[in-house]
Chains A and B, each alone.
Chain A
Amino acid sequence: MIPQDLKFTKSHEWVRLGEDGLATIGLSEFAVDQLGDIVFLELPAVGYATAKESTFGTIESVKAAVEIYAPLAGEVAEVNDEAADNFDLLAQDPYGKGWLIKIKPAQPADMDSLMSAEEYEKHLQNA
């Protein structure tokens, strides 16, 4: 079940805007499942400036290397070191413990242009 409070990109990233104003970003269950065994994850450092629809990291499976795209412009405030040490978290809990980065969004209103959970589900069905 896709958590209904999340917003999504066409490239399968999800965003959750927290009460602290930080946007948590991760990869959808679909994306993680498609990857299979994750063998490498490269995340940016705190302070990195993300740009909307630009890559901020790379995730690799045995078969392929895939870029991760920022849904929003902002500044990286936190990086999930736990996930970087244990890739299993992404498959086990892609919308929770498997989060990748938290950013301070430059324009929180940009969230509105992202897909809702329902729209993302439709997007997956059409793919």
Chain B
Amino acid sequence: MTELRKTPLHARHVALGAKMVDFGSWDMPLQYAGGIVAEHLATRKTAGLFDVSHMGRFIFRGAGALALLLRALTNNAAALEPGQSQYTIIQNEAGQAIDDAYLYHFDEDEYLLVVNAANRQKDWAYFQSLQPGSAEVDIAEASDEIAMISLQGPLAEEILSSVIDAAHLPKPGRNHLSRACMEGIDVDVARTGYTGEPLCFELFVKNCDAPAIWDILASRGGVPVGLGARDTLRLEASLPLYGHELGTDPEGNEMPIFACPLSRFAVSFAEAKGNFIGKDALVRQHDALGKIQARDYSSLADLPRIVKPLAVLEKAIARQGSKVFDQHGEPIGYVTSGTMVPYWKTPSQGAKTGPSSAHEMRPICLAILDSNIADRTIVQVEVRGKNVNAMTVPYNLRGKTPPYAQAVIYEKENQSTS
């Protein structure tokens, strides 16, 4: 049996009594002693601390680096000033996702691409295949030298401000970056994250500095959160996970990039990108999406199905692969991700709306459904042989009133007639 890989924080997870799992050949914490539910709730009320060092990190340098990124990623890397980052997708010619990723532009001369742990080798091989062979682009594998720690939640800003002076925090607003110093240690800071929390930070440090940074943030109130809650948090925020909302669907078909709603923020047709890989296919998908949003279904063939959040209206847990039907019993798609997630009850009155001390559980999912299914439509989801009612919704969580991201709860009465 080949040994699993360990991040620089492995000893911390074990010392905390974490249940460890094999995640893409990394020995990672699924949950700590408190459990997934407690960790999810802590992130929404105080702050969650995540080891995300298992993800892949590639550094692109050289005169030809920008041109390669403009061609091989869906977003407009040329729009990044130093100190900015963007969500992006590694696409193929057919407009499908090889992986989704985040591109960070800390310095004028280089770009840092963070990719999913499970796809690191595939992505690396892909970029190697694109390189013209000239000396113009240098791609470095930095996954084994740089560690990554995430801090997300209502207290995240407060915690970080207590150890990094205000002038060195990134400008407010998602995607801003900065270079900072925490108790003498160099830290690159990004306002990015995968939880839907409006106050979000991801920190890049040298491997040898990771334990010290973790200890500082934990001692200031960061609650260690494992991969189990990382998944429930991103599901609640309707964020895609490669292999579920991107990549192949439960029927084994490759999903168009625009089937995933977040792709709107990852795909650019700016002139700087020229005739980038997959452009034609993506243009067709994009145009079809525009029509679908205006209830014009004439180009459905270019985008037959779209991923939508569902609120499950009965006490049953739909999971990836569960079949979805319309009110007439016709099959309209599949669940791509689903589980039971906890949420804080918020007081119904009063100007100060934040989490109370009581929580509930609710079943939610993301599902890939026929594009002509409207919002607030009641659908049937097959759970262990039984059909349960669910409703398509625009979102299950809103982070529009920082510092809190709040659950949006739906009752059956809010449906549309279809």
Contacts and interface: CB of A to CB of B under 8 A. Distances in A.
A124 interface: no
Contacts of A54: none
B339 interface: yes
Interface string A61-85: 1110100000000000000000000
B231 to A, nearest CB: 8
B199 interface: no
Contacts of B315: 40
Interface in A16-75: 36-37, 39-40, 58, 60-63, 65
Nearest to B35: A37
Nearest to A42: B384
B189 interface: no
A63 B340 contact: no
A65 B31 contact: no
Nearest to B40: A62
Interface residues of B, number: 18
Contact of A39 (B19, B38, B361, B384): B361
Contacts of B286: none
Q: Interface size bucket, A side?
A: 10 to 19
A86 to B, nearest CB: 13
A2 to B, nearest CB: 21
B317 A63 contact: no
Contacts of A40: 315-317, 340
A37 B319 contact: no
A112 to B, nearest CB: 33
Interface in B1-51: 19, 30-31, 35-38
A37 B41 CA distance: 13
A60 B341 CA distance: 12
A36 B340 contact: no
A40 B384 CA distance: 13
5 contacts: A36-B30, A37-B37, A39-B37, A61-B36, A62-B37
Given A39-B317, A65-B384, 4 more contacts: A39-B37, A39-B340, A40-B316, A62-B228
